[in-house]
Structures are given as C-alpha cells and as structure tokens.
Amino acid sequence: MHDIVVPPGEVARRTVRRAEWVPCKAAFIDCRTPGSDRKDNYSFIGPGVSQSPDQFVNLREPHGFNLGAAGMSNGVTNNLHLHFTAEVFINFGGNYQLRWGADGRQGEYRSVDGDVVTVPSWIFRGFTNIGADDGILLTVLGRDDTGGIIWGPSVLQDAAGHGLYLTADNRLVDTVQGEQVPDGVALIEPMPQEEIDRLDAFSPEQFRTRVTHEGDRVWLSRPFLCSGLPGGGAHLSLVIGYGMSEDRRAVPRLHEPHGFDLAWLRAVPGEGVLTHRHSEAQVLTAKAGRWAVSVNTGADETVVELGPLDSLSVPAGAWRSFTLLDAQEGRAADPGTGELLVVNSGDGRTELEWAPEVVAAARAEGHVLDPNHYLAPAAVLAAATEDD
C-alpha cells in the first residue's frame, strides 16, 4: 500500500462538527405537508436522496456510501418512501415509531437511543418522532448513487395539493414559488398498484432481526492485533458485515451486502486502537465520550478531537489511530466508556495493516496474524511449514 499523507487542511475539511451542521428544510416533496414541514435534512457524505438543489453537502467525493442525518422534533413525520439501496438508521437520541408497507400498516417498531435499524430495500418505510425531545437519526445509504427514492402515492397527492411536484430526473418543482416544469421533462407518477402488490412483505418478527438494539450487541474483547497492548484495548461489536475484526470466530448480526460495513467501537479512557491503515474509505462518528483520532504518523501527524455527533472521513490508505480521552460527554450503553461508530466502504472484510511497531510489540506478547489475516499464537505460526 502506498504511503498517503493527509495535509492538516484536508483533515480539517474532512471533519464535520455537530455545531456546524447545515440543515435543509425543503429537501423532499413532503416539505409542506402538515406534520412533515419541520424536518431538517443533513447530507455529510454525498447528497443522499435529497431532491433540493439547495441541499448543503459537506463532502461530495465518492465514499462508496452516503452519510447524513434527519433532525426531527416531537410529532414530525418522514412520510412513506422506498429506497433501492440499503438504508440504515442509527439512533443518536430520540424515540421514533418506524412503520413499513405501502400503507404503513404492515408493521411497526419503536426505535430508541442506540438502535441500529437496517430497513430492507424495495419496501415503503416512514417514521415519526414520538419522543418529548428533538431527536437525531444518523443515516447511512448504500452506494454512491442511490438511485433516488419512490414516494408513496398518497405522499405525491398531498404534495400536489401544496404546489410541489417531482420530475422524473429527481428535481423538485415549487409552483407556489413560480417555478414551472421544464419543457420535455416528465413528472413522477405514482407507483402502479400492481407493482406495489408485488413488493416483499415483512412481519414485525422478520423486521426485528434487522434491528441491533443495545442489548443485542456482542462485544469482542480481543478484536485486533493490538488488543492487549497499552492503548490498544478497544472492544468491537459487529453490526453489518465482518468489517475490521481479526477474531476468526466473530460473526456480524447482519451478513446481507450493504455496500459498507458498520460496527460499534468502545473503550475506557486511555484505550482505543493503535496505528493502522486500510484500503477502504472510512467515516468515524462519536456517539459518547471525547475521542482523539490521529491521522498520519511522525512529523506529519494531525490529531482531531471528536465529541458526540462529530464525524471524520479518513481517506483510504492513511495511517490512523483512535484513543478515548474521556467518557463524560454523551450517553454510552456501558457507563464509563466512550462509543465510536465506524463505517467502512465495501462488502468484504476490511483488512488492517498495522504499523511496524505494533506488529513487533504484538509478536513480543505472543500474537501475530495468520495468512488469513486472523489473530493467531506466534509460537504456533513459527512451527508451521509452507507448501512448495
């Protein structure tokens, strides 16, 4: 892997602070529908499925996935719509009623803080904030080009009553503001009922298997080569895909390809993940605690501190390490720890390359990686023979 040095200015550009989020209040065709007119849509990595030319996007370069958020106060609804690629909600605080099916009556699930919910593609879904406080749902969408979305027929009808129309090339037309449908461009028509009838059905029991609640997390105490070394004591919980785990028996809760892997990382102050790199795009978002993320090594090192809902995009190939500084901010499932959400591009394993000093220290403690890139005892590997 070629050495990649990320200049300080580029590290700063790739850091998205919660305090600097820029909302769009007219991202979708339902922005005037009562109950949906107070949504804040955020696009951090890629434009997501926003239908507004005014949507602010922090980082437009392809990552293999899109990252954004929905900000919704009590009673606000995101109306029924359908995605073609993966849509994953990470509940960063709030109480949401999720519903699915063409009429929203096929099933419901109440999502609470800490949940990760991956909604099946090609089904209609919507959600309402039923909590007393403002809530944030972080969203990860599969692929760089999501293909847009299909709205439920009733949503399009309601929007037309408020002067809003959607073109076939995903442009929002606001006739109240004097806009007109461009010549030669067709408007989106409701999905035919016969096609709606062919969509998959999901029972509440089936849907629940796609939810990772705090109590469903399985924590790996030795997920990495650096586990057990000073400063390398983070635990890992796989949610979607095998991700970065170097534990040969670790199994994620969800295997279905999403275009990315997603996992929780937790640590106590002073611990984290030692210096490593890999070939996938990566985004880190702090859930609880204050984290120091070091990018580059030696004289080129740049350190970024992330608090709750701060994110950092780390380029493929760059050296990085993570350390929890303190556990005072945010809410973690395990008191006294910090939590970091880790998303990497791709559907395969994210194989790590460790800094030489980490490899040497782990070997001195009796640990190496086997040819399949999983943790193994050094003494056993030293006695292995190679085929001719």
- Tally helices (H) and strands (E) across the chain: 6, 26
**What letter would DSSP give residue 328?**
E
For the domain covering 217-382, report its CATH number.
Answer: 2.60.120.10
Q: How far is CA 372 from CA 313, 369, 375, 376, in A?
A: 28, 8, 9, 10
pTM of the shown model: 0.92
Please list the alpha-helical segments (H only) found in the chain. 8-13, 153-160, 193-196, 204-208, 356-364, 378-382
List every span in the chain annotated with CATH 2.60.120.10.
8-212, 217-382
Contacts of 147 (CB under 8 A, 6+ apart): 84, 85
Look at the domain 8-212 and name its fold: Jelly Rolls (2.60.120)
For 54, counting Cβ atoms within 10 Å of its Cβ (0-12 exposed, 13-18 middle, 19+ buried), the class is exposed
Could you list the pLDDT tens digit for every one of the 388 residues in the chain? Answer: 778 999 999 999 999 999 999 988 665 556 555 555 677 889 999 988 776 777 899 999 999 999 999 888 888 888 899 999 999 999 998 899 999 999 999 999 999 999 999 999 999 999 999 998 788 999 999 999 998 888 888 777 777 777 777 777 767 777 777 787 777 778 777 889 999 999 999 999 999 999 999 999 999 999 999 999 999 999 999 999 999 999 999 999 999 999 999 999 999 999 999 999 999 999 999 999 999 999 999 999 999 999 999 999 999 999 999 999 999 999 999 999 999 999 999 999 999 999 999 999 999 999 999 999 999 999 988 777 555 4
Beta bridge partners of 90: 116, 138
Angle at 244 between CA 16 and CA 332, to 5 degrees: 55
Is 149 in contact with 169 (CB distance < 8 Å)? no
